[in-house]
Amino acid sequence: MRITRRVWRLRRWILPLMFVGFLGLAGACGQDEPGPTADAAGAGDRGAAEQGATDRGPVEQGATDRGSPDRGATDKGSLDMAAIDQGSPDMAAIDMAAIDMAAIDKGSLDKGPAPDACVPQCTGKQCGGDGCGGTCGACPKGHGCCGGGCVDLSSTDSHCGACKKACPAGAACTEGVCCLKGYDNCGGICVDLKNTSLHCGACGFACKAGQACCSGKCADLKTDNGNCGTCGHQCYVGTTCKAGKCATVCQAGTTNCSGSCVDLTSSATNCGACGK
């Protein structure tokens, strides 16, 4: 009995679903042929129900009510199916649009032809930028790149210590500092190495106490015959520098008295000492 009821219920569901499918097929074909009317469908359903009832005998009213499908639900379902069928072409159009968008996106990745390669501009240049992000060369240590050429910044008057830093007239670039000609740069200070006691002959070479720097050499002005009393004062032949003065050199047994060599033992004017 349970099997018979299940078969009967399945038949009541299958027939409406077939009917709905038939309506959808007719709609897809442009409704060339009119489908069955609702009255005919209802009659078919009622006929099928009466036929099932005849075959299986009377069915309990409660079971019939519970097993029978909701007519409203069936009609609603048929409308939903029709809407889905009608919406299918729109979905296809959306899919085609999606493909077109994909093609557009793919095309947007095409950057077009690559720009011309940068050609370095280094003609006549030893250093500096090449116009393409690189350099035309590097200068040796102590040199700077000035106007595309390597320049010695320690001795170039027009680029003294830095590019375009020119020395004034009468000055020369010495170790990167502009100094008057004849002066040298000693720790950033221009000095005359020929007569500076703290830098005599060379930067940092200082003379001893009591000495003077004469022509780049340290000298004792009290005893130096070449720099007697002052730098450059020389004592003549037969004289010597004593106490910063040039004195006559006397032979043994004589004494220099006011520039004359006398015998103190026999001189009437210089008896025993000069001036007695």
Task: State the SS3 of the chain.
Answer: CHHHHHHHHHHHHHHHHHHHHHHHHHHHCCCCCCCCCHHHHHHHHHHHHHHHHHHHCCCCHHHHHHHCCCHHHHHHHHHHHHHHHHHHHHHHHHHHHHHHHHHHHHHHCCCCCCCCCCCCCCCCCCCCECCCCCECCCCCCCEEEECCEEEECCCCHHHCCCCCCCCCCCEEEECCEEEECCCEEECCEEECCCCCHHHCCCCCCCCCCCEEEECCEEEECCCCCCCCCCCCCCCCCCEEEECCEEEECCCCCCEEECCEEECCCCCCCCCCCCCC
- pLDDT of 135-193, one tens digit each? 999 999 889 999 899 999 999 999 999 999 999 999 999 999 999 988 999 999 999 99
pLDDT of residue 209: 92
Q: For 92-118, how does the pLDDT look when each residue is reduced to its tens digit (9 = 90+)? A: 444 544 445 544 455 444 555 556 789
Q: Is pLDDT at 234 greater than 90 in this prediction?
A: yes
Share above pLDDT 70 across residues of the chain, in percent, rounded to a whole number: 59
pTM: 0.43
Given this model, what pLDDT does residue 200 score?
96
12/234: higher pLDDT: 234
Q: What is the pLDDT of residue 3?
A: 53
pLDDT recorded at residue 42? 41
The whole-chain average pLDDT of the chain stands at 74
pLDDT of residue 34: 46
